[in-house]
A = this chain, B = another copy of it.
């Protein structure tokens, strides 16, 4: 025991986050376990506790990492698209990422940090990247005199799509007999954008 220079501080952190995110993807937040992460990387639980300070900060770090993954994936998905195709790709992208990584996605919204504790600045920045992408795209199809509405409108659109995606993956829509959640979300986004003066082609 003691400082084994098998891994540097940064390497060890990456090791923990890699294994942690993998475990989260496999079993979800409810069955996530710091002990299991420790077992997988060959360190003791104490090491993880010492580095992150508890299981909540660790989960926060993993979730912020998921946001990064998500944002990169979205950007890649936008490349080559033009005009309002890009907006549609954002909505589809939201759903597809969530469906492709349901446990990672659900962990983001199921995990509530004990009251009072806010996100450390760097983690907050990682999370804001996703909305920044949407703001940029919304801005691009908004008239010049409505540019100032873009940030607020983007946040609201993300919330709208999130609500539909959340009901789709959480089973609420299935419970209510709704079979086309994505189509619903796409229509709402279209309506909202038109109502706010976006330049969209006729249906």
Interface residues of chain A, those whose CB is within 8 Å of chain B, are 28, 30, 106, 109-110, 112-113, 118-119, 124, 127-128, 131, 151-152, 155-156, 158-164, 166-167, 170-173, 175-178, 181, 184-185, 187-188, 191-192, 194-196
Chain B residues lying within 8 Å of A158, measured Cβ to Cβ, are 167
Q: Are A176 and B112 in touch, CB under 8 angstroms?
A: no
Chain B residues lying within 8 Å of A170, measured Cβ to Cβ, are 109, 112
Between A124, A170, A176, A187, the greatest number of chain B beta carbons within 10 A of the residue's beta carbon is seen for: A176
Cα–Cα distance between A28 and B110 once the two chains are bound (Å): 11
Per a CB cutoff under 8 Å, which of B106, B109, B177, B194 touches A195?
Answer: B194
Label chain A's interface by main secondary structure. helix
Q: Are A167 and B176 in touch, CB under 8 angstroms?
A: no
Beta-carbon nearest neighbor of A162 in chain B:
B163
Cα–Cα distance between A162 and B184 once the two chains are bound (Å): 14
Q: Are A159 and B155 in touch, CB under 8 angstroms?
A: no
Q: Are A188 and B178 in touch, CB under 8 angstroms?
A: no
Chain B residues lying within 8 Å of A127, measured Cβ to Cβ, are 172, 175
| Shortest CB distance A132–B (Å) | 9
Q: Are A173 and B194 in touch, CB under 8 angstroms?
A: no
Cα–Cα distance between A177 and B152 once the two chains are bound (Å): 9
Chain B residues lying within 8 Å of A196, measured Cβ to Cβ, are 191
| Shortest CB distance A192–B (Å) | 6
Per a CB cutoff under 8 Å, which of B118, B152, B159, B184 touches A152?
Answer: B184
